[in-house]
Structure 1
Amino acid sequence: MNRGQLAEFLKGRRARVRPADVGLPAGPRRRTPGLRREEVARLAGISVDYYARLEQGRGPRPSRQVLAALGRALRLFDDERTYLFQLAGEQPGPPAGPSQTVSAGIRHLLERLDDTPAFVIDAKYELLAWNRMAVRLMGDPDAHGRNLIWNAFCGPFPLDAASPPESQTFADECVADLRAASARYPSDPGIQDLIARLTEHSPEFVRRWNEHRVCVRRTTTKTLHHPHFGELVLECQVLHADEQGQRVVFYTAAPGSPTASVLCGLREAVVA
């Protein structure tokens, strides 16, 4: 265990995490950037004295559970988490699961995109954040359910053999993507629960799951049948925030196309 380097790493990473990143108010008397020691200790579920001794290079060797908790509290990326474990003389296991916290920067990006439907999903296709254009195009996520894979197989209009080819392709890719996520996060209870529920309720999911395809969805073209605007052809751009297990999805359209005209009309309704 390298106590000195571990102490410097913890202090440096603590200074980089803003209170807003972990859901804490900045407060009127905060004179230095980053989190306070007591805030890191509270987020990690350890005593302030124990954390202070780690930062002072005189603490005992932290357990794997403490290291994992510190990694979550300090919002460490995967490579930083690996480095933290190595400094403590431990080998890191697989990441516990995808983050449910959308960074302030990504949320600000969604808000600025007033002409593009955009949203954030995690590794199991759970909607975490979205902008007003996405609501205009797809409806209120809270009214339809936030998990896109569950909606595809077990929602109000579930996939069946008569579904259009683009829906079949979307389902194929989602299941292959979910299998990749289950391998990357083998101990995540949310992913395992989703797989179990889909296996129980959807033969279409089971058939695809048993094919053992693995892939990660990237940019593609999607045809959406909108109840008011009819058929829309959307370019689905995917930005991978791999360290958090999240994707930012943008829907755009070819300039001058009928779909572009619909998106322009939706924007005018949003900014009005």
Structure 2
Amino acid sequence: MIDRAGLAEFLRRRRESLQPEDVGVPRGRRRRTAGLRREEVAALCHISADYYSRLEQGRGPLPSDRLIAAIAQGLHLTLDERDHLFRLAGHQPPPRGATSEHISPGLLRIFDRLADSPAEIVTELSETLRQTPPSVALVGDNTRYSGPARSMPFRWFTDPNTRATYLPEDHERMSRVFASGARRVATLRGPGSKAARLVELLLRESPEFADLWHRHEVGATFADVKRFVHPEVGVLELSCQVLDDPAQSHRLLVYTATPGSESHRRLRLLSEVGARDIPGGVSVGEWFPQPDCGPTRASTDRQPR
């Protein structure tokens, strides 16, 4: 049963405790509100300001679990705070761990400060949860997919257009890496897991994946430099830095170019091109494998091979 008074008070307190810079919102020079404005929170949660205001006032219809999840993410709640919010709204909290799509506040704070760089947050199945505008400009909007197609490797093996974002000479290695990574995660999560079901689907739909799967290759990795093909600016050679959130099995991926290089110049041009929907646009995402493109677990200094 929903606790309307408790829900309203909790939302109000959390909103007032957040500062604009905590969530990547410009402060402005005439701000008088303590914390965030209701319309700012509504925008972060992708809901109407009127609906959010009614929740803070203890009225309105019963919020769905999907809406509560959006509010929890928009308010940058911790997992404990998210679970509390779900219970106040009369819902059972979603499970934690590998299948959770709730991004930790710490990872979001870092992501919010990367607005001028191609960056994204992905699950262990390379389902994109968040993208910066330069990332969308580079590879397309990866959050637009649904079902199995949310997983970039699923698209890689089932949609030929997906590969247009990468040089043809890199395709064979990338296919090997995705198949190898699929084995690692499916084994880690076990039979009946989401990863195992994705493998079963790929085995039915992709002869290429089936062939690679039966080779039993493990430990394949991406090249240190990823080569992207963009229809407006051409080929970009980018390095990838990775920050892992092992508790949630999420990864923050940030792509950079060597200063002074042609790729660096082209990367800057992407801000002028703007975010657009590129058919088949994908991101390597360092999907299943532990890559050589960057470190893991909270360090962003490059590690030796």
TM-score (norm 2): 0.55
Higher helix share: 1
**Residues 116 and 219 of structure 1: CA distance in aligned 2, closer, same or farther (over 3 Å):** farther
2:156 paired residue among 152, 156, 166: 152
SS in 1 for 2:190: coil
**Residues 156 and 195 of structure 1: CA distance in aligned 2, closer, same or farther (over 3 Å):** same
Name the CA distance, whole Å, in 2 between partners of 1:238 and 1:219: 14
State the partner residue of 1:254: 258
How far apart are 1:137 and its partner, in Å? Answer: 0.8
Which one has the largest radius of gyration? 1
Name the CA distance, whole Å, in 1 between partners of 2:215 and 2:231: 33
User: What CA deviation, in whole Å up to 9, does each residue of 1:53-111 have, x standing for no partner?
Assistant: xxxxxxxxxxxxxxxx89x4xx5xxxxxxxxxxxxxxxxxxx6x332222233233223
State the partner residue of 2:299: none
Name the CA distance, whole Å, in 1 between partners of 2:242 and 2:205: 29
Name the CA distance, whole Å, in 2 between partners of 1:118 and 1:166: 21
State the partner residue of 2:119: 118
User: What CA deviation, in whole Å up to 9, does each residue of 1:204-228 have, x standing for no partner?
Assistant: 1111111212238578211111111
* Residue 172 of structure 2 is aligned to residue 168 of structure 1: yes
User: What CA deviation, in whole Å up to 9, does each residue of 1:238-266 have, x standing for no partner?
Assistant: 22222211221111111111111111122
CA contact (8 A) 1:173 1:217 kept: yes
**Residues 193 and 228 of structure 1: CA distance in aligned 2, closer, same or farther (over 3 Å):** same
SS in 2 for 1:107: helix
* Amino acid across the alignment from 1:113: L
State the partner residue of 2:131: 130
Q: Which has the higher contact order (CA 8 A, sep 6+)?
A: 2
Let me know the Cα RMSD of the aligned residues: 3.6
* Amino acid across the alignment from 1:110: F
TM-score (norm 1): 0.60
CA contact (8 A) 2:236 2:267 kept: no
State the partner residue of 2:228: 224
CA contact (8 A) 1:219 1:235 kept: no
How far apart are 1:36 and its partner, in Å? Answer: 10
State the partner residue of 2:106: 105
State the partner residue of 2:268: 264
How far apart are 1:35 and its partner, in Å? Answer: 4.2
**Residues 178 and 266 of structure 1: CA distance in aligned 2, closer, same or farther (over 3 Å):** same
CA contact (8 A) 2:107 2:245 kept: no
* Residue 261 of structure 2 is aligned to residue 238 of structure 1: no
Name the CA distance, whole Å, in 1 between partners of 2:253 and 2:82: 34
How far apart are 1:187 and its partner, in Å? Answer: 4.8
**Residues 188 and 104 of structure 1: CA distance in aligned 2, closer, same or farther (over 3 Å):** farther
Q: How many residues align?
A: 199
Identity %: 26
How far apart are 1:199 and its partner, in Å? Answer: 0.9
Name the CA distance, whole Å, in 1 between partners of 2:178 and 2:190: 17
* Amino acid across the alignment from 1:232: L
Query: What runs of 5+ residues in structure 1 fail to find an aligned partner?
Result: 1-17, 27-33, 47-68, 76-94
How far apart are 1:188 and its partner, in Å? Answer: 5.6
Name the CA distance, whole Å, in 2 between partners of 1:216 and 1:45: 42
SS in 2 for 1:228: coil
Query: What runs of 5+ residues in structure 2 fail to find an aligned partner?
Result: 1-13, 16-44, 46-67, 74-79, 276-305
